[in-house]
Structure formats: C-alpha cells, structure tokens
Amino acid sequence: MIPYGRQDISAEDIDAVTEVLRSDWLTQGQAGPRFEQAMAAYCGSRSAIAVANATAALHIACLALDLGPGDTLWTSPNTFVASANCARYCGAGVDFVDIDPRTYNMSVSALAEKLEVAGSRGGLPKIVVPVHFAGQSCEMREIRALADRYGFRIVEDASHAVGGEYLGHKVGSCGYGDTTIFSFHPVKIITTGEGGMALTNDPKLAERLSYLRTHGIIRPAQPPEDPSEPRVNEERNGPWIYEQIELGLNYRMTDIQSALGTSQLARLDPFVARRRELAARYDRLLAKLPLTCPWQHPDTNSAWHLYVIRLHRNEIKLSRRQVFDALRAAGIGVNVHYIPVHTQPYYRKLGFETGMFPEAESYYEDAITLPLFSRMTNDEQDTVIAALEKILA
C-alpha cells in the first residue's frame, strides 16, 4: 500500500534522539528551548512554545486569549475536530464559517457577511481560527482587516502549513494573527512523534502560554533583600520557590521529542521542496482527467501537507465511494479530508445540521486525498496516476 502520508526519519534524527536518551535530561532540559529558538528563527517570530501536541497548543492559546463560558470561537468546518474542540475545553461555544470553493479554506466573504449579521444582532466571536487547509495559508491580510474592525483575536491553525509561505513570509511569522499553531504528528510536514507548538510575537501572550503549559506555575523573580526582615526574606527568596498563579496543565514536550524536532527542522526546506515538486507533477499529469486539482491563491506558497482532488461526478459513472474503494483495492492509500466538523455526532448534539455549510458539504462529497509525502518516488506517484486513469476511464 502506498500511504497517503508518511514520516521521513534519517540516521541523524535517530542520533539526535539517542543522544538525549544518554543525557541527564529527558524533559525540561535544554533540547526544548533549542527547538523553540530554532523554529522561531526559521519562521521569523519572536517566541515559540513547544507542547505535547497541536490540540494542547490550541487549548492553551484559547485560555491565554481569555476564551471562556459565554464566548464563541469561529472556525472552518473543513478541518480536523481539534480546531473546534479547543473552544469547548474552555466552556465556550463554537460556530463555523463556510469555505471558499476554490481554496477549501475559510471564505473571507462568508466571514465578512457572518460578522456583519453577528455585529448587528450581538454574538460576535472572541476568537477566529483560520485553518490553513492542506498547507495553503488563508487570506490573512483580509482576515486581519476584519479582526481590526470587529475586535476578535486570531489563532491560525497551521497544523498543515509548517514551511509554507504567505505574502513572502513564513507561516508562523505571526504578522496577521495573535498566535500560530503547528502540529508535529507523523503525517504532518515534520514530526516529533506527537508534538505541537504555538508561535507569537506578543511577549505577554508568550509568557502566559508558557506557564499555562506547565500547571500555571512561574518561578518569581527574587525580591530584593530587606535587611530589616532577614527571616521573612529567607523564606520568600528560597531557590525552591515556585508560584502557581492560575490553573494550567501539563502540556510539555519532552526533550526526546524536541531533539527530534530540531533535527527534522534542518530538513524542512527539502521536505517542502519535494512536496511542491510532487504536487506540480500531479497537477501536470492529472490535467486531462475528470477532476479538479487544488487551486492555489497567488498570495500563498503552500507547504503541501495534502493533495486533494475533487471528482467531477457528473462526468464519471462512479460514485466517490466507488473511486475510493477501487484506489484502495489497487494499493493506493487514499483518504478523505475532512468530514465537515458540524456534521459530527457531538456537534449535531449542539444543534448543528447538514445543510448549514453547503460549500464544505459539497466539497466533502467529491474530495479524495491522494498520497503525498517527501519520500514518495516518481514511480510511486506514477502508480497512483495510472490507477486513477484506469478507474476514471
């Protein structure tokens, strides 16, 4: 089976991990800050906070932006459930903004219309989570302009877009949003096994994210010596002192994972270059088939986490299910991204229904994700294309 995604682990990655295993620090040593600094430098952001996974990063991002009961977070229905669940962890409500049928990202015009209605009736969102679907950035300049007008905060879910670019800057440079979230799950662009990160240019937000990651605990600056109260100062100044200032979590990334991340980051550019090459090759070799290849907005340069085709079902005799099954039977590990989040049983129980976000639903009916990963060979890709040609003939 040719998988839809696969990690790329080198001998250097394995050495980086074993080096940590032989060291004194499996967690909370220097490997974490090293990975954070390397990623912040790569993206051009001020700070990066490494955490256990992207879901944890989304959760503390919402907490750090004061999302709570009575508030609402808006995201795209065409995403993994984690982009919406983070609001529910904070006791807040969720709503969705339909997608742009060209990019499959949150539609800026649908967002503008929904904000206008919410602005007049009450019920504006506190946070909007644009999801950079498949590795292509959302239209952040336009979303920023809406945030300035309506006063919401922006958490970019860039789980798919590590190494991608928007208007000449790396995704993660945080030029438009409050914070950007990465995932390092093995199917994503680079991996730490499990892992995630929140990047930001806001020093206050960075500080809060980093203590929410570790129980809400800070190590306070030692107060100045007061010779008139020696005993009290001795107690307050002890080097063991830590203070829990709010309710945080244990969402830390281990040094084992961080070392793998730093080692993987050194190969991020070649990974993305190969993904771009494979995507361009799919574009070229699939051009004559009855399907739509992924359209790219001119402001973006995708990291190509996913390559999604949309079948022209009125031009072929088969259903999406039949095409999917035939590809799987031919040893092609196709997948489907995403079941619209609002149609999940949990979100139906909250009142969402099929029909509410028709672009996301219609996209979902026709979509198939083809295999794409940095180690994929041209021969493997030719096998995928030949199978698709045969099935659609």
Ligand X SMILES: *Cc1c(COP(=O)(O)O)cnc(C)c1O
Cα separation, 393 vs 382, whole angstroms = 16
Find the part of the chain contacting ligand X (CB under 6 A) among 41-49, 79-87, 233-241, 317-325: 79-87
Closest CA to 155 of 216, 107, 104, 198: 198
Closest CA to 263 of 9, 1, 58, 2: 9
**Residue 79 near ligand X by CB under 6 A:** yes
**Residue 369 near ligand X by CB under 6 A:** no
Residue 104 CB, nearest approach to ligand X (Å) = 12
Cα separation, 215 vs 155, whole angstroms = 22
At 89, which helix (H) or strand (E)?
A: helix 82-89
**Residue 90 near ligand X by CB under 6 A:** no
User: Does residue 349 carry a catalytic annotation?
Assistant: no
Residue 369 CB, nearest approach to ligand X (Å) = 12
Residue 83 or 179: the one with the smaller Cβ distance to ligand X is 83
**Residue 164 near ligand X by CB under 6 A:** no
Residue 261 CA: distances (Å) to CA of 93, 110, 254, 271: 33, 37, 11, 14
Q: Which of 114, 126, 170, 188 is catalytic?
A: 188
When binding is defined by CB under 6 A, the residue of 77, 164, 196, 261 that contacts ligand X is 196
Cα separation, 166 vs 140, whole angstroms = 8
When binding is defined by CB under 6 A, the residue of 82, 212, 385, 392 that contacts ligand X is 82
Which residues in the 48-77 window bind ligand X by CB under 6 A? 53-55
Which residues in the 110-139 window bind ligand X by CB under 6 A? 131
Size of the site for ligand X (CB under 6 A): 14
**Residue 159 near ligand X by CB under 6 A:** yes
User: CA 217, 221, 226: angle at the middle one, nearest 5?
Assistant: 130
Neighbours of 293 (CB within 10 A): 18
Binding site for ligand X (CB under 6 A): 53-55, 79-80, 82-83, 131, 157, 159-160, 183, 185, 196
